[in-house]
């Protein structure tokens, strides 16, 4: 393993914490690395520090230009660096190089509701904004919004998403991290947001996959009938 592949101070990483039916993913910064361990940001949930329930195995995931790396670790201590709350986790015993998971992505037009998590934490009754899904997969979603709305977002913002799919009775609700925002080159009054889910249940992921496969099959049948 090259030194350039290892986790470094000031890197951003994903902290994965498994629950019974989902995986909570937090974007954290690496604040320090010592012989004792790796110091990472302690996540905040609903304006409170992450409870000390991470006694089991957790996973850190980070990216380099050519690949994604991950390793299992454990929290060994909690403390403050100055005024910054941090978790100290064990150094990796084994570092795994993985390729990014690819999901089938379906182009489709559907409504979506979203809100920045920090606004919801300040006001639980904050109204959701609306947008239009452009494509969707079991890993993330791309949607368009009025240009004025996109100017209020930045890369790394956590969004609460709500949307329905035609083949699913129950509304899907999940958190997602903003990966990219841009102007819609075909309609400059619109902006485009690309998100990756960070708190979605396996059942919802499966439902999206099944929905996309069904629609893909329908499109293939329609195309064949039109030949």
User: Quick one: 91 and 203 in the same domain?
Assistant: no
Q: Which of the listed residues 98, 114, 143 is the one where a domain comes to its end?
A: 98
Supply the CATH number for residue 170's domain: 2.40.10.220
Residue ranges with strand state E in 58-189: 58-63, 68-73, 75-81, 84-89, 96-98, 106-116, 129-136, 140-146, 158-163, 172-183
CA gap 11, 29 in Å, rounded: 6
Q: Structure pTM? A: 0.56
pLDDT digits (tens, 9 = 90+) for 50-108: 766 555 678 898 877 667 788 999 999 888 998 899 999 999 988 888 765 566 778 88
Does residue 147 share a domain with residue 38? no
| Closest alpha carbon to 103 in 216, 221, 222, 218 | 216
Do 59 and 161 lie in one domain? The reply is no
Question: Do residues 134 and 193 share a domain?
Answer: yes
Two structure tokens written together for 212: 């996309």
Confidence category of residue 36, pLDDT binned at 50, 70, 90: very high
Q: What is the CATH number of the domain that holds 22?
A: 2.30.110.10
| Domain closes at, from 98, 125, 143 | 98
* Same domain for 216 and 111: yes
Q: Number of structural domains, the chain?
A: 2
Q: Are residues 164 and 218 in the same domain?
A: yes
Instruction: Name the residue range of residue 42's domain.
Output: 3-98
Indicate whether 18 pLDDT > 60: yes
């Amino acid at each position: 393993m090259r030194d350039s592949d290892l986790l470094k101070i000031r890197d951003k990483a994903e902290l994965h914490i498994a629950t019974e039916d989902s995986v909570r993913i937090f974007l954290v910064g690496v604040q320090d690395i010592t012989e004792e361990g790796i110091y990472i940001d302690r996540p905040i949930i609903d304006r409170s520090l992450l409870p000390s329930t991470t006694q089991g195995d957790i996973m850190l995931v980070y990216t380099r230009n050519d690949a994604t790396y991950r390793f299992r670790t454990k929290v060994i201590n909690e403390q403050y660096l100055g005024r910054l709350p941090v978790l100290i986790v064990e150094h990796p015993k084994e570092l795994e190089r993985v390729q990014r998971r690819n999901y089938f992505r379906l182009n489709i037009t559907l409504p979506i509701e979203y809100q920045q998590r920090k606004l919801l934490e300040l006001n639980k009754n904050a109204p959701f904004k609306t947008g239009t899904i452009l494509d969707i997969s079991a890993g993330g979603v791309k949607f368009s919004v009025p240009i004025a709305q996109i100017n209020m977002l930045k890369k790394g913002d956590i969004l609460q998403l709500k949307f329905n799919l035609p083949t699913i009775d129950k509304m899907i609700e999940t958190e997602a991290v903003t990966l990219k925002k841009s102007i819609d080159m075909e309609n400059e009054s619109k902006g485009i947001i690309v998100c990756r889910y960070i708190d979605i249940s396996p059942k919802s992921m499966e439902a999206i996959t099944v929905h996309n496969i069904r629609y893909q099959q329908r499109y293939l049948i329609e195309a064949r009938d039109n030949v």
